Each structure stands twice: as structure tokens, then as C-alpha cells.
Structure 1
Amino acid sequence: MLGIVAAIVLFIAFLINAADLSTNDVFTSTNVMLIGLALLALHVSGVGGGWATRGRRR
């Protein structure tokens, strides 16, 4: 799930950079890209991978 969110955030950063949109200091393309890379790093490390399934004990 975090991988998909990271892809969306990185795509938004690309659009901000490619369209040369003027945004405020918080939502510059570099800041949005860094947020996307942080989400991607969390995804690769295993955070947000889904529910852990446990087998039934009898």
C-alpha cells in the first residue's frame, strides 16, 4: 500500500516540476519528492505490508 502511495506522491512531484507550478514553500517539488522517497523506503523495509496472518492453533 505504501508503494502505491509513494508512486502517486512521486508522480505529483514530477507534475509540479514539469509544469513549473509556483507553490508555497512547503509543497515544492523537492519536498514532495522527499516525502515520496520516504514512503518508498518504508514500503521496502516492510512497514505497511498488510495484515500478518497467523495459523489456527488446535
Structure 2
Amino acid sequence: MTNMKRITISLPKDLEETLSILKTDPHFMDMTSSQIIRYLLRIGAKAETRKT
């Protein structure tokens, strides 16, 4: 078990489909949905903090 906070989010259909597509990419194949979402959140957060 990890010490990360657990949250529940609802994904719109288009993001669900994007996640399914990403899972077929060799870079993401071995990742769980949670790992992919955390990865993308980090990228987005870094991009946003660079803008300010």
C-alpha cells in the first residue's frame, strides 16, 4: 500500500477513450490507468507552473 491520498474522479467519455488509446502506446503499455493519469497530471502541472 502507498501513502498517497486516494481520490475519485469521473472521466468524460473522450478522456476515457484517450486513456484506452494511450494504453496501446509502447511508452504506456506497462502502466496502470492511475499511473498514466498521474504522469499526465505532472506534465500538465509543470507546464502550468512554467507559464506563471
Regarding TM over 0.5, the answer is no
- Structure with the larger RCO, 1 or 2 (CA within 8 Å, 6+ apart): 1
Larger Rg: 1
Query: Normalising by the residue count of structure 2, what TM-score does the alignment of the two structures yield?
Result: 0.42
